[in-house]
Amino acid sequence: MLRGVTGTVSGPLLSATGLGMIRGERVLFTGVSLSVAPGESLVLRGSNGAGKTTLLRILAGLTRPEAGEVTRNGLHHWFAHREGLKPHETPRTHLGLWAKAWGSGSDLDSVLARMGLKRPADVPARYLSAGQRRRTALGRLLLEKRPIWMLDEPYTALDAEGRELVLELIEDHLKGGGAIVAAIHGESGFVPANEVVL
Amino acid sequence: MRPAPILSAFRQALGEAWAGGAGALLPLGFFAGAAVLVPLGIGTDPQTLRAVGPGILWVALALSSLVTLERIFQADTEDGALDLWLQTGAPASAIAGAKTFAHWLAAGLPLALLSPLLALMFQAEASTDLLRNAALYGLGGLAFYFWGGVGAALSATVRRGGLLISLIALPLYVPTAIFGALSMTHGPGSESAPLFLAASTLFALAVAPFAMAAALRLAAD
Amino acid sequence: MFSWFANPLRFLRLSQWLAPLCYALAVLLIGWGLWRGLWMVPADEYQGGDIMRVMFIHVPAAWLAMASYMAMAVMSFVWFIWRHEVADIAAKSIAPLGAVWTAVCLATGSIWGKPTWGTWWQWDDARMMSVLFMFFLFLGYMALRASMDTRQKAARAGAILAMVGAINVPLIKFSVDLFTSLHQDSSVLTADGPKMAAIYLWPLLASSLGHTLLFAGLTQTLMRAEIWDRRTAQANAKLMSEG
């Protein structure tokens, strides 16, 4: 059972109509409409500075669009360049904190094991490698089942094994009826149901 | 409104404030240092020091709050934690309030607790008045941290935001500084001053979180 | 009503004749007020002799220091709620002007204070103190706007700060009054209207109204400049994106 789904899931989990955004005087994009159904993935594409991250932030409700509307029919997970990891936090305390914040009773040890963080589980983030920090933040996706995942460049700083792991997580999530919106610059590694090109 | 995200934000802020290595020692050092400079600047006449001591501690407290506040929201915007907190579904004002309160607890309250010691150095008589004054420093410090928090949230995305925080917060610190200093004198109006101090602190607690929330949403935008 | 003014084009058309009108009336009113005030009315020895004539600039400046901050806060509020761009442009334009008049108020107050109080700065004067903190509010507002990287962010940050400042002004005023009332009473600047002789009152009123109109005219000019500035930037951005 996915948490945060309102009513029965028949329509799209996430939809947006007529999104437009201006930064300063620059028009990033206009008239962007999209919708993501359960089990579907959507990849946002575009060159550097085209506004992929901004669009993703609008979909997550972090940035207010200049025009248009976003409807989310369920809770979402957020995973971006900035991991949200504090220098003093260890993978275990970080995941523990967010498990508490979200009120989920996940087994931390199994999440840490899945993310390959057993060994550095108690090392403060300032001593972790970039890849280990990414894995810690990815672990949040497993703390609680949420229907929508929003991923901004999920492969950054990960090794081949890490990429495999992310792909596995994504496929599992889609199979379980979840939806994925990802901003990916290079290879996505999976076949997205839809693409938005900015 | 589930209280869990707010408690977690409080816990994280507390951990962050203490994890700097020196924990509360750094603001304490600054507070004491700022206060100790004064006799070097104005001379050592006990009468003068006794007269200006309480006021000097208010000024030192205000400065310490500004110095320690610079990073509380700036770090969150840089490491991405702010994005996560804004997506918990809990009111941003409650998150901001919890974080600021945690910060006061870690960096502001220790200063109030240290104040009797510094007051003695400023030639104050050792009496229960010092404990009462410590409570007043704690109360006023809370208002400093909340108004300073508004400045910190507004300048969260600004490089060298510390200077901006000072400029923004200075006029907002005026009532607390006046009521606080007044409540430690024995002249007319000193009886009601602690009540005014408490009222203005309550006002800060009621208003500042909403301003911080609006500013943080802007910082994340 | 706000929506009617919210159209930048309508504002440009309106201010095209309204701003010059404000300037013309301001010159007449300030000119008459200063002529009466500086040459015609007798000096009030009780108020320090000829130095009291600085009142004809000081009092209008004091009035505008308060009024302009309130106008800025109201414009910020209007922008925050309705997002009318002209309101933000108004708030942005009022700030530097408000700061200038506030500085003039402080400077003239200080000049008036030297012979009457015997000091350039009197910490016990509640009005001077309040105006000083007003000055800091303006400076903070301008500094905050200037440090934001887009105009949309500058508008939002500025509006939040202006509103926080505005709800604090009564508390600041109250605390400063309490602070100064405990020290010796040294209020020499009793420029209270009713107590003043009519001979002073009329030039003072004319000068105050003149300053207000000058302020209004300058605000409109700055707003026009800002509107053109934004349109130019928009046109540039469009050209750039079309390549």
* Closest Cβ–Cβ partner in B178, B187, B208 for C175: B178
In this predicted structure, what is the pLDDT of residue B77? 93
Chains contacting B with at least 3 CB pairs below 8 Å?
A: A, C
Contact indicator for B129, B190 with CB cutoff of 8 Å: no
Give which of C41, C19, C43 is closest to C32, Cα–Cα. C41
Tens digit of each residue's pLDDT (9 = 90 or more) over C86-134: 999 999 999 999 999 999 999 998 888 888 778 888 777 777 888 899 9
In this predicted structure, what is the pLDDT of residue C125? 76
In this predicted structure, what is the pLDDT of residue C243? 61
Residue C173 scores a pLDDT above 80: yes
Structure tokens at C96: 């530097």
- Which of B86-90, C89-93, C146-150 is predicted most confidently? C89-93
Categorize the per-residue pLDDT at B96 as very low, low, confident or very high, splitting at 50, 70 and 90: very high
Residue C194 scores a pLDDT above 50: no
Counting as low any pLDDT under 50, the low residues of chain A are: 1-2, 4-8
Q: Please indicate if any CB of chain B lies within 8 Å of the CB of C128.
A: no
Per CB-CB distance under 8 Å, the chain A contacts of B78 are: 82
Q: Which residue of A has its CA nearest to C154?
A: A24
In this predicted structure, what is the pLDDT of residue B6? 94
* Closest Cβ–Cβ partner in C139, C164, C168 for B167: C139
Number of Cβ within 10 Å of residue C137's Cβ equals 29
| Rounded average pLDDT over B50-66 | 90
Per CB-CB distance under 8 Å, the chain B contacts of C134 are: 171
In this predicted structure, what is the pLDDT of residue B44? 83
Structure tokens at B161: 């935001």
**Residue A78 and residue B221: Cβ atoms within 8 Å?**
no
Q: Which residue of A has its CA nearest to C156?
A: A64
Tens digit of each residue's pLDDT (9 = 90 or more) over A13-36: 999 999 999 888 888 899 999 999
Residue C25 scores a pLDDT above 60: yes
In this predicted structure, what is the pLDDT of residue C192? 47
**Predicted ipTM?**
0.91
In this predicted structure, what is the pLDDT of residue A125? 92
In this predicted structure, what is the pLDDT of residue A104? 84
Q: Please indicate if any CB of chain C lies within 8 Å of the CB of B164.
A: yes
More confident residue, A164 or B185: A164
| Rounded average pLDDT over B78-98 | 94
| Rounded average pLDDT over B16-36 | 80
3-state secondary structure (DSSP) of residue B88: coil
More confident residue, B96 or B124: B96
Taking one residue from A and the other from C, the number of pairs with CB-CB distance under 8 angstroms is 21
**Residue C178 and residue B188: Cβ atoms within 8 Å?**
no
CA atoms of A118 and A110, how far apart (whole Å):
9
In this predicted structure, what is the pLDDT of residue C114? 82
Give which of C217, C210, C191, C161 is closest to C48, Cα–Cα. C191
CA atoms of A190 and A132, how far apart (whole Å):
23
In this predicted structure, what is the pLDDT of residue C45? 66
Q: Which residues contact A120 (CB under 8 A, 6 or more apart)?
A: A90, A91, A128, A132
Residue C193 scores a pLDDT above 60: no
Residue C155 scores a pLDDT above 90: yes
CA atoms of B40 and B30, how far apart (whole Å):
16
CA atoms of C131 and C60, how far apart (whole Å):
13
Q: Which residue of A has its CA nearest to C233?
A: A25
Give, in degrees to the nearest 5, the angle at Cα C34 between C30 and C35.
115
Q: How far is A70 from chain B (nearest CA, A)?
A: 15
**Residue A80 and residue B15: Cβ atoms within 8 Å?**
no
CA atoms of C213 and A94, how far apart (whole Å):
60
Q: How far is B66 from chain C (nearest CA, A)?
A: 15
Segment 24-43 of chain A within 8 Å of chain C by CB: 24-27
In this predicted structure, what is the pLDDT of residue C26? 96
Q: Please indicate if any CB of chain B lies within 8 Å of the CB of A87.
A: yes
Contact indicator for B115, B35 with CB cutoff of 8 Å: no
| Rounded average pLDDT over B20-43 | 81
Q: At what angle do helices A130-143 and A160-175 cross, to 10 degrees?
A: 10
Chains contacting A with at least 3 CB pairs below 8 Å?
A: B, C
Q: Which residue of A has its CA nearest to B78?
A: A82
Going from the C-alpha of B67 to that of each of B30, B84, B107, the distances in angstroms are 9, 26, 10
Q: Which residue of C has its CA nearest to A28?
A: C241
Q: Which residues contact B76 (CB under 8 A, 6 or more apart)?
A: B82, B85, B156
Residue C177 scores a pLDDT above 90: no
In this predicted structure, what is the pLDDT of residue B71? 83
CA atoms of B207 and B115, how far apart (whole Å):
28
Taking one residue from A and the other from B, the number of pairs with CB-CB distance under 8 angstroms is 71
Q: How far is C153 from chain B (nearest CA, A)?
A: 7
Residue C185 scores a pLDDT above 50: no
List phi, psi (to 5°) of A45: -125, 160
Per CB-CB distance under 8 Å, the chain A contacts of C150 are: 23-24
In this predicted structure, what is the pLDDT of residue A32? 92
CA atoms of C130 and B61, how far apart (whole Å):
22
